[in-house]
Each structure stands twice: as structure tokens, then as C-alpha cells.
Amino acid sequence: MRGIPVSEGVCRDRIIVLGKPHDAIPRHDISEADLPQEIQRLERALTQTRRQILEVQRKVANALGAKDASIFDAHLLVLDDPTLIDEVNRVIHHQKVNVEYAFQQVAEKYASTLSTMNDEYLRERAADMRDVTTRVLDNLLGRADEAGVRKLKEPCIIIAYDLSPSTTALLDKKLVRGFATDIGSKTSHTAIMARSLEIPAVVGLHDASRQLQTGPNSRANGSPSKKNCATSATSQPSPSTAFASRFRRTSSRRLTPSMCAPAARRAWGYSARNIFSSTARRCRTKRSNTGLTAR
């Protein structure tokens, strides 16, 4: 099982597999009279999410410094972006649907467009977009965020489909000895947080969260002699803790946001609305070329 080593270190412990969330976002028809209430719900959720992100940013600043905490400036920009919020409002009013469904549809459209961009740094910003989206939806639906991570009681290695940057930033190093995810890259904010926290990490393992199981019956050994060979895993019974993983960075130089495509970083970090506006234009052009019209 090969992936991308993004944070140096060696760890051995039992594994906890979180997997990929599959919660469907419900769609409900909303009467004309109830539309203002949906808009109020959106405003409350955005305010609550902003408070949560500011709290994460404060904790990261205290623990790691202002430079790492600045990663979450982009998350705050998403919440304040008029292009995104205005489109969510239009979907609610035109389609007469509930706010969580409207927000998920609009936000995922922008995230999907980001994920197809040629620039690797901008592609990774799709993960930031989805991080914010998940927080907003959690607040709208009353869901616990990353409940599996927050309920850890003993040291372990996390195997997950993905970990959001805000969740990674608050990992307890005493309990999380390392983590590996199915998706991700070296330029992701999750990877940057792992390096800052000095938590061994491998990303891009594709299907580790499906192949491995929680408990001591999985074993993985990393092979640092092969470039980008993060882990090899087999499911074998073992009488003791049976997960070992070695992580090696291909370079000792620490990757920071300022090193990742400066022009692209400025485009995302200081003007998220430019990306959203560009995405909206692309979508309108696509509809026009295919003969579709917006409702």
C-alpha cells in the first residue's frame, strides 16, 4: 500500500479506522412563508461556524504560532464571500428548498471546480472549501463534528478517508501517534498541520480506510528505501499492537503556505471571491454550451 509521506516520523500502535462519512443531506420543499426562516438559519450557522473557526485559529496560534494559524484566514473568507452566500440564497428562494441542501449543492460545485484546476495548490483548496462546508452543515443539522476523533481515549494511529485541516490542527499528540488518509497531497493544509505538530503522516493511500480494520489485527510496515513508499499493509492476526508505519519526507525542508505557488496562494488567500466568481462564470458558460438554462 503506497502513499505520499508528508510528515516525518516512525510510530507503532493500534489503529482506529474512521472511514468516509456517507451522511446524505436531506432535501425538503419549503413554503414561501417559511423561506425567511431558512435564511435566518443560514445566518446563524455562518455565525456559529465563524466562531468555531476563530477558536481553532486561536488555539493553533497559541500552540504553533501565527504563521500556522493564518491557514484559517481562507476558511473565514469563505464564510464572508458574497458570491457564495448570494448563490445559496438564490437557490433557497428559486428552488424553495431547505438551507442545508442549498448550501451543500452550491459549495460542492465550487469545491469540485477547484479540485479540477491545473495548479496543485488550488486543487488542494477544495479540501478547505469542504472543511468549511462540513462545519456549516454540522451546525445546521446539529451533528457532532469528527466525533470519532474527539472520543479517543487511548493512543492510536488514525486511518481515515480524509482529515480536515481544522480537525488535524486540534489532534492530541499524546493520543494520536500518527495518521494515514486515502486522499491528500503534500501541499494540503492537513499535511502542513501534521508537519507543524510533528505527527507522522501519510496521505494518498487510496483505499486504506476500506482495507484496514480497527484493532490489533492489521499490520503495516513502511519501506523508507523506496521513494514515496509510505506503507505496505496486510491484515494478519497478531497477539499485540500490530500496526507499525514508517514515514520519511523526501526533503527535510518544511513546506509552508508561502512556498506553494505564490500567485495561486494570493488568489485563494486574499480573494476567495475571485475563485467563486470564476467558477460561476464557468458554470454559466457550460450551461450555455449545453443548451441548459438556470432556474
Q: Which residues contact 197 (CB under 8 A, 6 or more apart)?
A: 7, 64, 168, 169, 171, 173
What is the number of domains present in the chain?
Answer: 2
Residues 140, 51 share a domain: yes
Domain holding 164, by residue range, is 4-20+154-247
pLDDT at residue 146, as a whole number: 57
Does the pTM of the predicted model rise above 0.75? no
Residues 140, 14 share a domain: no
253 domain residue, yes or no: no
Residues 207, 125 share a domain: no
pLDDT at residue 30, as a whole number: 97
From CA 120, how far away is CA 261, in angstroms rounded? 9
107: domain CATH number?
1.10.274.10
221: domain CATH number?
3.50.30.10
Q: List the grid coordinates of 260.
A: 506553494
Residues 128, 55 share a domain: yes
- The C-alpha torsion from 115 through 116 and 117 to 120, rounded to 10°, is 60
Determine how many CB atoms are found less than 10 A away from the CB of residue 271: 13
Residues 173, 138 share a domain: no
Residues 220, 276 share a domain: no
pLDDT at residue 62, as a whole number: 93
pLDDT at residue 55, as a whole number: 95
From CA 29, how far away is CA 98, in angstroms rounded? 7
Averaged pLDDT, groups of 10, the chain, 295 residues long: 84 80 82 97 97 94 91 91 95 97 95 88 84 93 70 87 88 90 86 90 88 63 40 36 36 36 38 49 48 38
Residues 237, 205 share a domain: yes
Residues 116, 163 share a domain: no
Q: CA 147, 152, 156 angle in degrees (round to 5)?
A: 125
pLDDT at residue 148, as a whole number: 64
